[in-house]
Amino acid sequence: MLDFLYSTGWGAFALMLFFHIPFLIVFPYIVYRKCYVNTGPSNTDPRKLSRLEALWLIIAVGLFIAANVYSINYLPMVKTSATEASGAVIQDVDVTARSWSYEISNRQFEVGKPVRFSVKSVDTMHGFTVYHPNGKILFNMMLIPGLEKASSLVYTFTEPGKYKVRCLEYCGIAHHAMQDELTVVKSGS
């Protein structure tokens, strides 16, 4: 469940709906009622309203905190340092982006072996986004030229296949053609 929410685009969509749906029920309901059903003022006890106010704030803030706290283990920085701490061998890959291609020091990886992608751009802003063969985004990086530290994270592929790379920062008239491909093979093969 958490995997779905925090590591897929549709998970983000679901998270958004989780907040949208109650709002889209309550707000129009109250507006409709006060427009057409019972337009007069309601003599709700003011004390009740301020209690409701406090309750609403607590619920909203509570949900906001929960949505973020549950995401902590999925943070790329957290996952990266966890992999580093585990003592696993990390394969280093350097990527240089320029309009409109990538120079990638290694395009073939093994399932289960962590890879550190360090990506730089040498001309204008570019992106480095890796897609799973099923079309979903695995991760996304933005590259600002001149930034001293390369954009970087550690990722461990779990399935063999062809992984598409796309640039997701608009970089000029051939931006849509800026792509590449990585190959992931079964371990030991």
Partner 1 sequence: MLAATIRRTPFLGRMFDVDESTGLSDINTWPAMMIMTSFVWLIVAILLGVLMPVIQLAELDTNLFYSAITLHGAALAFPFLFQFMMGISLHRSGGCMGKSASGPLTTLIYICMNGGAVLLTLAVIGGLKITYTVMYPLPLVGAQMGQWSMGMVVLGFTGIALVLTSMIFLYPIQILRMSFFGKQREDLLLSARTLNDPGMLGMVMSVMILLVTGTPLMIVAGAVLLGLYGLVPLEAITWATEPVVFQYVFYIFAHNLMEAMAIMVISAVYATLPLYLADGTRKLYSNKLANLALWILLVTSVTSFFHHFYTTNPGLPSALAYHGNFMSWATGVGAALSLFTILATIWKHGIKPEPGLMAILAGFVLYIMDGVNAMVAGNIVVSYQVHGTLWVGGHAMMVLIAMCLMWMGVLYHHYPVITGKKLDTNLGNRFVKYYFIGAFGLTYSFAAGGAMGMPRRFADWSAGPDSWMMVGIAILIFGIFLTVGFVTYMQNFLKSRAI
DSSP collapsed to 3 states, the chain: CHHHHHHCHHHHHHHHHHHHHHHHHHHHHHHHHHHHHCCCCCCCCHHHHHHHHHHHHHHHHHHHHHHHHCCHHHCHHHHHHHHHHCCCCCEEEEEEEECCEEEECCCEEECCCEEEEEEEECCCCEEEEEECCCCCEEEEEEECCCCCCCEEEEEECCCCEEEEEECCCCCCCCHHHCEEEEEEECCCC
Smallest gap, in angstroms, from Cβ of residue 132 to partner 1?
9
Binding part of the chain for partner 1, among 27-35, 82-90, 102-110, 180-188 by CB under 8 A, reads 27-35
Q: Which does 88 bind (CB under 5 to 8 A by kind): Cu ion, partner 1, none?
A: none
Residue 41 or 87 with smaller CB distance to partner 1: 41
Which positions from 27 through 46 interact with Cu ion, judged by CB under 5 A? none
Q: Which of 84, 145, 183, 186 binds partner 1 (CB under 8 A)?
A: 145
Give the per-residue contact string, 34-73, with partner 1 (x = CB under 8 A; - = no): xxx-xxxxx-x----x--xx--xx--xx--x--xx--x--
| 4 makes contact with partner 1 (CB under 8 A) | no
Which positions from 116 through 175 interact with Cu ion, judged by CB under 5 A? 126, 167, 171
Binding site for Cu ion (CB under 5 A): 126, 167, 171, 178
